[in-house]
């Protein structure tokens, strides 16, 4: 290394390379003002959108962590987390946690990349958005060509939520909310609750005098005039599946009129079909927003590259390397 010298608008530094003295000189024209090629509206639109999304995702992450630790405590939650356990991802708080982490990573890259004109972060941002868009398109194609297989996955997931009903408090609240609002019971029928160990009509549960054996959760009960103006009857589903001898032998027979007969899968299908006029435009707008962010980030990245090329070619910054 050699010494560094400066002369007003330029500076130089000497190096010894292969026995020769090499001088690197950087010259600047202080009177030259280069017009910016970066569109400020485009730049700050991306920044504002990503920054707001970053704040939202941080709040969502904090809410998910609080909900998980409030249920089980910090140490138990850490021990409980096992990526190999598929049932773990049925927990709404875990899904909230994972979703917020993904959004934080994407929005952070977009925020830093747009604010600092950093092409590396913008490249990461566009790659992740591109991956998400490809994933959406693949899901749409799969829904068209292998819709039955996807429906089987959804049905299996709903059946698993019934099995885990009492194991996850948040999952229990979610199932109750769906059954109350969709006015349904079980995945296909109220008899699906026989797969839950607490509501099973197994003889061993009747031997021990379980009150819930052969019943259904309170959320399966129909709303009556007495429950509309007061608290829900938490025990209205007791013995619901043992009310008729025929019900134990023929699953299509169910005589309790205060229990919803329809399964939640059919009711969810009906809800989606009836509201497709609103759901389809919402998904389309969501997809268009992703495309807008992707193309805007690509345009901003190209503008930054053009600015850098212009920077080195107009005399604002010149590099001189020569032997001395």
**Along the 324 residues of the chain, how does pLDDT read in single tens digits?**
444 444 444 555 666 666 666 655 555 555 555 567 888 999 999 999 999 999 999 999 998 888 877 766 555 555 555 555 555 666 778 888 889 999 999 999 999 999 998 999 999 999 999 999 999 889 888 877 877 787 888 888 888 889 888 887 888 888 999 999 889 999 898 889 988 888 887 776 665 667 788 888 988 988 755 554 455 677 788 878 765 555 555 555 555 778 888 899 988 888 888 888 998 899 899 999 999 999 999 999 999 988 887 776 665 544 444 455
Domain ranges of the chain: 4-36+314-323, 40-150+288-309, 153-274
Please give the Cα distance from 312 to 306 (Å, whole number): 10
The fold adopted by the segment(s) 153-274 is Cd81 Antigen, Extracellular Domain; Chain: A (1.10.1450)
| Segment 144-200, tens digit of pLDDT | 787 778 788 888 888 888 988 888 788 888 899 999 988 999 989 888 998 888 888
Q: Is 177 exposed, middle or buried (0-12, 13-18, 19+ CB in 10 A)?
A: exposed
Query: What are 102's two structure tokens?
Result: 């993904």
* Main-chain phi, psi angles of 35, to 5 degrees: -70, 140
Residue 69 has a pLDDT of 78
Cross-strand bridge partners of residue 21: 16
Query: What are 111's two structure tokens?
Result: 């925020």
Residue 308 has a pLDDT of 80
Contact call for residues 142 and 151 (beta carbons, < 8 A): no
Residue 17 has a pLDDT of 61
Residue 132 has a pLDDT of 92
């Amino acid at each position: 290394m050699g010494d560094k010298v400066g002369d007003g608008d330029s500076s130089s530094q000497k190096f010894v390379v292969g026995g020769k003295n090499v001088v690197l000189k950087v010259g600047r024209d202080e009177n030259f003002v280069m017009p910016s090629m970066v569109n400020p509206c485009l730049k700050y639109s991306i920044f504002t959108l990503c920054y707001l999304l970053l704040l939202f995702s941080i709040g969502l992450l904090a809410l998910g962590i609080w909900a998980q630790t409030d249920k089980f405590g910090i140490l138990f939650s850490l021990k409980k987390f096992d990526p190999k356990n598929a049932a773990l991802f049925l927990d709404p708080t875990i899904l909230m946690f994972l979703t917020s982490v993904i959004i934080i990573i994407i929005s952070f890259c977009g925020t830093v990349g747009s604010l600092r004109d950093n092409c590396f972060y913008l490249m990461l941002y566009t790659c992740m958005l591109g991956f998400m868009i490809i994933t959406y398109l693949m899901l749409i194609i799969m829904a068209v060509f292998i819709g039955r297989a996807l429906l089987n996955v959804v049905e299996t997931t709903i059946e698993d939520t019934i099995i885990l009903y009492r194991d996850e408090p948040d999952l229990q609240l979610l199932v109750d909310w769906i059954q109350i609002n969709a006015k349904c019971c079980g995945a296909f029928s109220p008899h699906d609750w026989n797969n839950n160990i607490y509501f099973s009509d197994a003889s061993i549960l009747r031997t021990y005098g379980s009150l819930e054996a052969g019943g259904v959760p309170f959320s399966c009960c129909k709303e009556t005039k007495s429950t509309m103006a007061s608290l829900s009857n938490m025990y209205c589903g007791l013995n619901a599946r043992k009310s008729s001898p025929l019900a134990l032998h023929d699953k299509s027979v169910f005589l309790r009129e205060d229990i919803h007969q329809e399964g939640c899968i059919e009711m969810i299908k009906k809800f989606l079909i009836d509201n497709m006029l609103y759901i389809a435009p919402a998904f389309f707008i969501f997809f268009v927003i992703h495309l807008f962010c992707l193309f805007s980030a690509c345009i901003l990245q190209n503008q930054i590259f053009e600015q850098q090329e212009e920077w080195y070619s107009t005399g604002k910054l010149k590099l001189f390397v020569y032997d001395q």
